Amino acid sequence: RGGRAHSNFRGLPPAARDDLLRAMGDAMTEQQSTWNCGLYAVPNNHKKPFDDKQVRQALNMALDRKQGSEFLSKIAIVKTVGGLAFPGHPLAPSDEQLATLPGFGPDVAASRKQARALLNAAGVPDGYQFTLTNRNTDQPYKFVATWLIDQWRQIGLKVEQEVLPTPAFYAKLRSNPPLFDVSIDFNCQAIVNPTLDISKFISADKSDSNDGKYIDRKLDELFDAQLREPNHDRQRALIWEFEKQMNEQSWYITTLWWNRI
């Protein structure tokens, strides 16, 4: 407003953007792009009932990502619906492919009905309560966590949010074995590279950033195969198989990719 520029690489929240555009009028324009940073929920597969794949799948299938993008992008620095690899990259799954995965399809009501059935099959009672551990940072952590809690409420789960200062949050997130029930986690890379994006999610004895501390040799094999595959189409197909395996096991649950304004 004083004719100077205050710049940073993290961008602005939507409300701050709106305020500046109103104040500056035609003197200012905006740009937006998907940020190479995604937020995830990671269930503690070492702890009941999250050791049951059905429970983890139910957490995934409860999410209405399209509606979440529509509303959260108005108040938080998240927007893009995507998988594990940077959305829109030639090696990433297409929107049409993602729509075939449980939790990404257009019929949210049917997905949530199936999620309730999975919880019932796993012996999880209606009203089951657990804690979502989160970082004490508004953008976008608290916004996304609040949305997750509401999504899971709609399949009969009661979730309390545990908000921790950053050092305590990191200590609990990276504990071995994990100490949380379900935690917010993230994956941010310095460059756009789908191989880097998915490297977080291989087995814990191969990835220091696997905070679920699970072992999944199929993910390891697919990662190694795509890493060494010189043919673009075959590499893309292997990354898609990696995506499907993660969705099947739901070791990690994707939310939304960040949005740089």
User: What is the tens place of the pLDDT at every residue in 2-61?
Assistant: 888 777 777 889 999 999 999 999 998 889 999 999 999 999 999 999 999 999 999 999
User: Could you tell me where the DSSP H helices lie in the chain?
Assistant: 14-24, 53-61, 65-72, 95-98, 108-121, 143-153, 166-173, 194-199, 217-227, 232-249
Interval 112-135 mean pLDDT = 98
pLDDT for 153-195, tens place per residue?
Answer: 999 999 999 999 999 999 999 999 999 999 999 999 999 999 9
Neighbours of 22 (CB within 10 A): 9
State pTM to two decimals: 0.95
Tens-place pLDDT, residues 248-259: 999 999 999 999
- Residue 248: per-residue pLDDT: 97
Give the number of other CB atoms < 10 A from CB of residue 25. Answer: 7
Percent of the chain with pLDDT over 90: 93
Judging by beta carbons within 10 Å of its beta carbon (0-12, 13-18, 19+), is residue 43 exposed, middle or buried? buried
Q: What number of CA atoms fall less than 13 Å from residue 148's CA on the CB side?
A: 30
d(CA 37, CA 6): 22
Of 146, 217, 204, 157, residue with least CA distance to 177: 204
